[in-house]
Amino acid sequence: MSQVRSRNESAWLLPPRPGSIHRLREDMRTFEDRDELDIVVVGCGAGGSTLLQRLARAGWRAVALDAGPFWDPERDWVSDEAGSHDLYWTDPRVIGGEDPVPLGSNNSGRGVGGSMVHYAGYTPRFHPSDFRTFTTDGVGVDWPLEYADLRPYYEDIEGELPVAGEAWPWGEPHRYPHRPHPIGGNGELFLRGARACGITAKVGPVAIANGRFGNRPHCIYRGFCLQGCKVNAKASPLITHIPDALAHGAEVRADSMVTRIGFDERTGRATGVHYVRHGKERFQRARTVAVAGYSIETPRLLLNSTSRRFPQGMCNDFDQVGRYLMVQGAPQTAGRFDAEVRMWKAPPPEVSTEDFYETDPGKPYKRGFSIQTVSPLPIAWAEHVNPRALGSGAAAVYERFSALGLPRCALRVSSAGRKPRHLG
């Protein structure tokens, strides 16, 4: 733990009791638009926040801009599915082309912390085979680096989040810094079924503190990981890297939507970013621009940054920006059981198996898959069993619950009387 603290003191900078996330946000250093910064980072999620913290420690004059708010978990987040939709980027998005695909609204986050504010906490590593799929399986392309190149970075970030889980036997076998969490009903069923089928399954890995970590408390297993962790046990950059970045002189400028990258037409070098804050168009000068706006917002920004020098957008000389995008593929299944499962009373991705991860020569496809538990709360569960019901309002969802023999009280509408929102 001392090694973690020497490179990232965020967990110790948080207050030791519930309340405002940290005073550093009120006291942080601020810069003017006219100041030429060493770097401006676009996006304050997993990549942007970590980069900001590392560069601030190295003495860089750095600002991170995010389109959403600077969240305060104690004040802003609630144990209510319908009341938590503001955590998601809710603007409509469509993958274009001959067969356009609309994306769900939970494909990225909105605000400081990014998608990790509402992700489930699942933090697996790649396998060594993932880096050479073309050489070994004839699909995709090989990476220009190997698993061994990333191993020390996996170890560092797993210590800083921190990650909890059992010893991992797949890929390159490894351990995690925190012991696995106790499991809920869904995990128990998964483990029991896996044993009966001869499948190896393990608990974790999840980026949720198991035991006190600095001033961060233990997980209390309330089951609202996807709605923002009010107690700060689940890792998100909002608590894992932003406090240390601010303590070392960085600025986080929230509610700032970057619209275009500025650059010198003669040299092609970036000069800063155009952005909108509180309805006013502004330009922040910087010698370097790092774009860390997720797999959707990053190509949008690059494609919008056009000029005579870059008529198709920045970094798009070969017309590849925004192509071949796959956010995540994860089909889900569910079943009926004789006894109540109480599947939501634990971190959602509790138990996993990667027995089927590698290519099986006996199968008619290349590469494989992993299996993990997922524990939706009532509204998300209703969407899975009958997504069209939400179009008719909450009453239809209640009727669907009754038809399944499930208790009507399992689903509730928020105190404001709103109908359940589609969360993607």
Token digits of residue 127? 């396998």
Determine the pLDDT at residue 301: 95
- 285's enclosing H/E stretch is strand 280-285
User: Are the C-beta atoms of residues 352 and 201 closer than 8 Å to each other?
Assistant: yes
User: Where does the pLDDT of residue 153 fall: very low under 50, low under 70, confident under 90, or very high at 90 and above?
Assistant: very high
pLDDT tens digits for range 52-66: 999 999 999 999 999
pTM: 0.87
Determine the pLDDT at residue 411: 31
Query: How many other β-carbons are positioned within 10 Å of the β-carbon of residue 138?
Result: 9
- The dihedral formed by the CA atoms of 91, 92, 97 and 100, expressed in degrees to the nearest 10: 150
Token digits of residue 189? 């069923």
Lowest mean pLDDT among 167-176, 224-233, 236-245, 323-332: 323-332
User: Where does the pLDDT of residue 75 fall: very low under 50, low under 70, confident under 90, or very high at 90 and above?
Assistant: confident
The DSSP letter of residue 225 is G
pLDDT of 418 > 50? The answer is no
How many CA atoms lie within 13 Å of 151's alpha carbon, on the beta-carbon side? 11
| Buried-state track 7-45, b at ≥16 Cβ within 10 A, e below 16 | ebbbbbbbeeeeeebbebbeebeebeeeeebebbbbbbb
Token digits of residue 116? 């990790």
Alpha helices in 284-347 (DSSP H): 294-304
Phi and psi at 225, nearest 5°, equal -60, -35
Q: Which of 240, 201, 153, 199 is nearest to 349 (CA)?
A: 201
Alpha helices in 70-164 (DSSP H): 73-76, 133-137, 147-160
Token digits of residue 268? 């092609």
pLDDT of 102 > 50? The answer is yes
Segment 284-292 shows an average pLDDT of 97
Q: How far apart are the first and last CA of the chain?
A: 38
User: Are the C-beta atoms of residues 163 and 124 closer than 8 Å to each other?
Assistant: no
User: Where does the pLDDT of residue 5 fall: very low under 50, low under 70, confident under 90, or very high at 90 and above?
Assistant: very high
User: Are the C-beta atoms of residues 274 and 283 closer than 8 Å to each other?
Assistant: yes
pLDDT tens digits for range 21-53: 678 888 999 999 999 999 999 999 999 999 999
Residue indicated by tokens 């989040």: 161
User: Are the C-beta atoms of residues 52 and 98 closer than 8 Å to each other?
Assistant: no
Residues 332-337: contacts with CB under 8 Å, at least 24 apart: 332/374, 332/384, 334/381, 334/384, 334/385, 337/189
Determine the pLDDT at residue 29: 96
Q: What is the mean pLDDT of the chain?
A: 86
User: Are the C-beta atoms of residues 70 and 111 closer than 8 Å to each other?
Assistant: yes
174 burial type by CB count under 10 A (0-12 exposed, 13-18 middle, 19+ buried): middle
DSSP 15-80: -SSSSSS-THHHH-----TTS-BSEEEE--SHHHHHHHHHHHHTT--EEEE-SS----HHHH--S-
How many residues are present in the chain? Answer: 424
User: Are the C-beta atoms of residues 259 and 247 closer than 8 Å to each other?
Assistant: no
Determine the pLDDT at residue 384: 74
Determine the pLDDT at residue 399: 46
| Buried-state track 243-254, b at ≥16 Cβ within 10 A, e below 16 | bbbbbbebbbbb
Q: In whole angstroms, what is the distance from residue 157 CA to residue 169 CA?
A: 20
User: Where does the pLDDT of residue 19 fall: very low under 50, low under 70, confident under 90, or very high at 90 and above?
Assistant: low
Q: In whole angstroms, what is the distance from residue 268 CA to residue 286 CA?
A: 14
Q: Cα separations (Å) of 54 from 243, 246, 273, 407? A: 12, 11, 21, 50
- The dihedral formed by the CA atoms of 365, 366, 372 and 376, expressed in degrees to the nearest 10: -60
pLDDT tens digits for range 125-143: 999 999 999 999 999 999 9
